[in-house]
Structure 1
């Protein structure tokens, strides 16, 4: 029997793909997806609790808005510092600690007996959630490398699953137990997710561990390209949140009842979740620029259609409009790593998410003032104009992207 040389056996062992190596990206995507669902669910379950807190603490609408803003403000404001910290501490560690802090914030909320204590608890929980978007996005990006756009779309989609499940779970729990016990139960879920991240998620690495040689010319091009990408993300978020501000009033003016408006909004959100999933893969195949032009142009046309159509046809087009409104975000997130050097990926994602989340908070106020001055129809039409304004920005971004230069 022939004996194979030891060198051949050694080579076969080193060249055959290792099962662990193949599974690491999938484990990273699964862990960050579950974490994303948890944190987005944590963010939106507050809406279910606001009426409960209003009744128990006799709060006005203004103070309720402030309490909601404490969570989102801490989450948005700390993302850039977290991105910088990830350049020195492994992202996996920060993700697990942030998830644990978000859960502990809800533990404190469940134990609190005053508005001050509840506000502090929301601030702590929001601070914990600040780790999620920039670090998890960077982890998926590094795990999949150049093929990250599709997985980032899946990661982005997972947040919508959390928005759909955790607030609904909280609403059901409030039927059978007090809000304090319900929060403690939801916090326990968060602690379990943090433990799973610590034990099962592959290491991400520190930002400086992924440094690469970048020429001065390339670095300048990356900064310029990222600025255009950030501007597109800010306007895209403004279009989405501005349209959502006026949609219930448009439906009411067309004769929709409250249940009909609820169904219409659900159809829009279902389309939005599908858009996040589908457009991430579309961007990987058709390219960022073509996909952005398609989604923003389609969003503008469908917004005008909703304004012009009677109630039933307008509701029918809402799922497709949801695809267009939400689909762009997956493509933009997937493009962030292409425009930044590897050791600054977390910082770039932190800046991008801060800009888009901040835009989502400010845009309804600005469009609301426009609605007071011109009426909801013209203010909604302004969101379509904003969507069209993104198209020339996409063309300015094109020279900085590989698929844009080929287009």
Structure 2
């Protein structure tokens, strides 16, 4: 009764994972390289801080808003074509930024770049999911990790180039890197999605309603991460940290986060979603409380562990999306999931900020720790809806 399907070779899986990881690193690097350019734009265009924030929001806001349309477009044109086209469009956005002569042109360039980057999360994730099938959770964790590599590498490269060239020349170099990345993605990732590949296939996940629970966990998890990081510099400052030490503290947290994304995707495949989410979310809550209460030296020691816990959940959740998506709807499910989590990360600092305004940054961080615990009953409710057991418990 079941159609025979040849499993993809290990070499093909690795090529897809490398191509998707390359795209993830570039697009996440594109998103965060803007932070390095903001001071230069402020000086050249005479912008206020609120205008800079709005300018930064054009890229991420466009990216968040267009992920679901990108997933739908892939159903008509094919996932690889849309992913490659989006990568070229993001590179074009950076090239146009270098040509812009004023604020309006720069803003339009960022909208173009954000529209291109909207294709990456849903479609690269789908490519990895299709290549690895029921073993995709660990591979998606590795894919998730590559985004952190891009966040570290591309802004650093831009900063290095700015020491010897103008910002316009630097963004043209970055645009060229994007065009090269599009060629790499085209060469490594085979065609996927599109109208010819909508034939029914086996459902990998459990019962109805499971995706809604998964999305809710992702929204809360993202809000905890972004809410806590909003308060972290103020908490450390109150403990006596100066600005260089605060920057080092963020590096510690981000390094731990990158390790957590890499490790917890594979851990979820061995322990299962429920156990891994409970470990990481309870660990996040306890680590936040410990960082708030500890003296400065101990808080710095705890930050890498907090980063592991705080970011590790996301890899497990991303890896579970294809298990709960309807047959043939993985790209749309990934688009919806990423849209919800990115929007949560953008809006939640404002909500936590009200707590911080009323009671101080430490209590704002404590409120984030309490929200982390909200995910635990949601994970318990989700567990029976999953059919995939741990692979090597």
**Which residue of 165, 181, 192 maps to 1:204?**
192
Alignment of 1:7-22 (within 5 A): 21-22=9-10
What is the distance in 2 between the residues matched to 1:159 and 1:385? 27
What is the distance in 1 between the residues matched to 2:11 and 2:327? 22
Alpha-carbon contact 2:205-2:322 (below 8 Å) kept: no
What is the CA distance between 1:404 and its match in structure 2? 7.3
Corresponding residue of 1:234? 219
Alpha-carbon contact 1:48-1:171 (below 8 Å) kept: yes
What is the CA distance between 1:260 and its match in structure 2? 1.4
Corresponding residue of 2:39? 51
What is the CA distance between 1:87 and its match in structure 2? 1.6
Corresponding residue of 2:262? 277
What is the CA distance between 1:210 and its match in structure 2? 4.0
**Which residue of 70, 85, 104 maps to 1:116?**
104
What is the CA distance between 1:25 and its match in structure 2? 1.1
**Which residue of 135, 142, 150 maps to 2:130?**
142
Cα deviations by residue, 1:205-238 (Å, 9 ceiling, x for unpaired): 32661432689xx99933x000000000000000
What is the distance in 1 between the residues matched to 2:206 and 2:21? 33
Corresponding residue of 1:221? 207
Q: State the TM-score, normalizing by the size of structure 2.
A: 0.95
Corresponding residue of 1:25? 13
Corresponding residue of 1:67? 55
Cα deviations by residue, 1:232-283 (Å, 9 ceiling, x for unpaired): 0000000000000000000000111111111111111000000000000000
What is the distance in 1 between the residues matched to 2:131 and 2:180? 23
Alpha-carbon contact 2:84-2:185 (below 8 Å) kept: yes
Cα deviations by residue, 1:157-193 (Å, 9 ceiling, x for unpaired): 0000000000000001111000000000110000011
**Which residue of 307, 319, 342 maps to 1:334?**
319
What is the distance in 2 between the residues matched to 1:30 and 1:219? 26
Cα deviations by residue, 1:77-110 (Å, 9 ceiling, x for unpaired): 0001111111222111111000000001111100
What is the CA distance between 1:201 and its match in structure 2? 2.2
What is the distance in 2 between the residues matched to 1:290 and 1:347? 27
SS at match of 1:381: helix
Cα distance change of structure 1 residues 243 and 178 upon mapping to structure 2, 3 Å threshold: same
Alpha-carbon contact 1:70-1:119 (below 8 Å) kept: yes
Alpha-carbon contact 2:270-2:390 (below 8 Å) kept: no
Query: Which structure: larger Rg?
Result: 1
What is the distance in 1 between the residues matched to 2:352 and 2:305? 23
Cα deviations by residue, 1:53-82 (Å, 9 ceiling, x for unpaired): 000000001111111111001100000111
Corresponding residue of 2:344? 359
Structure 2, unmatched stretches of 5+, are none
What is the CA distance between 1:21 and its match in structure 2? 3.4
What is the distance in 2 between the residues matched to 1:275 and 1:199? 30
Alpha-carbon contact 1:207-1:345 (below 8 Å) kept: no
Cα deviations by residue, 1:303-325 (Å, 9 ceiling, x for unpaired): 11011111101110110000000
What is the distance in 1 between the residues matched to 2:193 and 2:352? 42
1:95 aligned onto 2:83: yes
What is the distance in 2 between the residues matched to 1:123 and 1:364? 23
Corresponding residue of 1:129? 117
Alignment of 1:165-314 (within 5 A): 165-206=153-194, 209-212=197-200, 221-222=207-208, 224-314=209-299
Structure 1, unmatched stretches of 5+, are 1-14
Corresponding residue of 1:42? 30
SS at match of 1:55: helix
Report how many residues are paired.
Answer: 388
1:105 aligned onto 2:105: no
Alpha-carbon contact 2:205-2:323 (below 8 Å) kept: no
Alpha-carbon contact 1:27-1:202 (below 8 Å) kept: no
Cα distance change of structure 1 residues 231 and 94 upon mapping to structure 2, 3 Å threshold: same
